[in-house]
Amino acid sequence: MDKEYKIEVVPQHERKAYIDAQLSSATETTTSHDVYDGAATTLKVVRIPLNMPLFRMANGRTQADQASYIADKELPDDYFSAGEENDTVQAVQQRLLRRISNEGPESIASIFDELERDTQTDPIMITPSGVVVNGNRRLMAMRALYANRQADFPSFETVRCAVLPPLGAEEVDDIEVRLQMRPETKLSYSWISEALKVEKKLETKKSEDAVARLMRKRPGDIKKVVAALQYARIYLTEWKKRPADYSLVEGGQQFFGDLVGRMKNKSGSLRDANLRLAWVMYDNRSSLGGRLYDYNKIVGEKAEEVLTQLVDRIELNIDDPAEDGVEEPATEEFEIDLGDEPADDKFTTVIDVLDDETRRDDVFDQLRAVCQTIMDAGRATKLGNAALLAARDANTRLAEIDLSGADPKTFDGITKQLENVVHRATELIAKVAEIKAGKANKPGKSQES
């Protein structure tokens, strides 16, 4: 099935006149409980030409896909909202509907199967001017079947439509939410599309409680999804430099949702650095060696510990050139004497380095090592193996040093660092011996005669 149905928009006044004429003689009706909240409404059912209905551009299910399309094609922000009566825009919407209909448990294949088995069982819901409020995907599937197998589906030359009474845009939007955004809906909205719809509802002065009731959710869920959307926007705008390209965060519902709690009560450089850690992890989620979810605690309550250790590792690469014999690059200035900085500037080193896109891969390698050390230490604490694991990590890092490609200008700095390592290792060996001796001579310890 590869032939696309060609859309030729019928002018609005012609659509309305045709639908009005059909309504005047219509005998079939259907009852809906979703037009008005808690009330049954009788709607007349008419047949109109397959090409006449318009896909509704404010369809919540496609909001995220529309935004990504606009970002990818560098189109005006109102490309879809202003183009509902445009042939080309309608054709793009048709392709977007087909794409998202291949996702979720009720794929486009099942829609085709249903239409082949029972043709059109339920009428599509439209406004008096022919804009589809419910049934956009069914209309898309009917057009696809008709375009490719017209002889098999002659009845699709016309579409059965239940016509709504004249309503305002907000009332129409509420109908869509009642019909499509509830938890029992077969094909759920993407989390971004749902968040955009929630945000839009709140902007129309609806309270969080009212939106929650409309969507059959808890008020806390409404708050969380909007906060998660804001973090996704920060990631896209400030980090990826791709505002509104929501395709980049489609799979991040749990990550951005969890981030809401992880960032609570954080401020200043800790918050800014913590966010950058989160972005780096999300960018490299396939290289973490485990689920991104497993790093939630690291991004949250362990963030300050992670950042402190990361600063120490980064410091090795940007140490004082006067002491290490390395010429200071003319274009970079780093302040690493964190002890003299105000508390709020504690993690500016990490922020500066991560803001340099050319350094992010290297920092991620360091970050992954720090996270693994902390995670292993946490798992081993009950067994008393945290110190051993830290020693192993230090040994592993030393084993990774390759002097064959080192710049001779760094040799003095390397020597200084290794001398510090030897000094610290010697102190620790002596401390281990002291602890062992103390335990052996502890008063009251039984001895054999």
Say what the pLDDT of residue 380 is: 55
Say what the pLDDT of residue 99 is: 85
**All residues at 6 or more sequence positions from 398 whose CB lies less than 8 Å from its CB, including other chains:** 421
Say what the pLDDT of residue 422 is: 93
Q: Residue 63: which of 201, 259, 212 has the closest Cα?
A: 201
Say what the pLDDT of residue 178 is: 84
**Paired strand residues for 54:** 131
**Element (H or E) spanning 47, and its range?**
strand 39-49
**All structural domains of the chain with their residue ranges:** 12-173, 190-262, 267-400
- Per the CB < 8 A criterion, the answer to whether 133 and 56 are in contact is yes
Tell me the mean pLDDT per 10 residues along the chain, length 449: 88 96 95 86 96 94 91 94 96 91 55 61 91 92 90 90 94 87 58 89 87 87 92 94 91 91 88 91 84 78 86 63 43 37 68 89 85 72 67 82 86 90 91 82 54
**Paired strand residues for 161:** 46, 124
**Element (H or E) spanning 306, and its range?**
helix 303-317
Give the tokens for residue 308.
């402190």
Q: What is the pTM assigned to this prediction?
A: 0.65
Give the DSSP letter of residue 43: E
